[in-house]
Amino acid sequence: MGDLLAEAEAELYADDPDGFTARRAELAERARDAGEPAVAKKITALRKPTRSAWVVNRLIRADPGVRSRLDDLAADLREASEGGRLRELTATRAKLVDELTRTALEGVAAPPAALREEVTATFDAAIADPEVAGSLGTLVRAARYAGFGGFAVAPSAPALKKTKAPAEPAAEREARRQEKIKEAERAVADADRDLESAIAAERDLEDSVRDLEAQLADLRQRLAEARRRSYRAESRQQRAAGQLSRLKE
């Protein structure tokens, strides 16, 4: 069971998304033929990735070392506590994200700026967010890190600075943070509803296409039978006309 699903994921999320829907239907049908209806249902539920998600998935599946490089850097950033070390790791992060973006886009003819930006944002989010990192390889859409609880680089203090601005009260900081979290949660909920609606519409249309294809196949079969009947009737008509002609001679 697991093998069929894993194989389907490996193929669907590594291949060009233009053929995703048709190939997903074929793989689900193969699972049903193999006596695995539950796996077929899971394959049918796999969601088509955007092009930016696809190029990231393709790289992750082609080079397993990418995942470990991202995970190692994320661990280093979490452990770092000194400003100089954080700045060093932030520079390393920028170089790694830039390198992976270039590699992921290899083979994509004239990638638009928007595609490049989404791929960059996804790799950056994978370093900061373990949930994004865990979804690499089966991403459905580009990811972007919201910034809550992320890594920050301590800025160098100006040499001549003698006074510090009053610190914002902790209660106010927490209130603003909670409000931002609520806004982000509302945005996620809205996006989830839109996604569910889009998936439902896609499945409805796929069902309609299958029904129409079945109707078309039936009509073609009926047309072929009608043509055969027409041919046989024409042959009988010609034989009868010939016999009549001979009798009149």
pLDDT at 222: 85
Residue 235 has what pLDDT? 84
Helix (H) or strand (E) holding 187: helix 170-248
* Tally: H helices and E strands in the chain: 9, 0
Per-residue pLDDT tens, the chain, 249 aa: give them.
558 999 999 999 989 999 999 999 999 999 999 999 999 999 999 999 999 999 999 999 999 899 999 999 999 988 876 667 888 888 999 999 999 999 999 989 899 999 999 999 999 999 989 999 999 999 999 998 765 444 433 333 343 444 555 566 777 777 777 778 877 777 776 676 677 667 767 776 777 777 787 788 878 888 888 888 888 888 888 888 888 888 887
For residue 194, give the amino acid letter. Answer: D
The three-state secondary structure class of 107 is coil
Q: Are 38 and 30 in contact (CB under 8 A)?
A: no
Q: Is the pTM of this model over 0.75?
A: no
Whole-number pLDDT of residue 197: 65
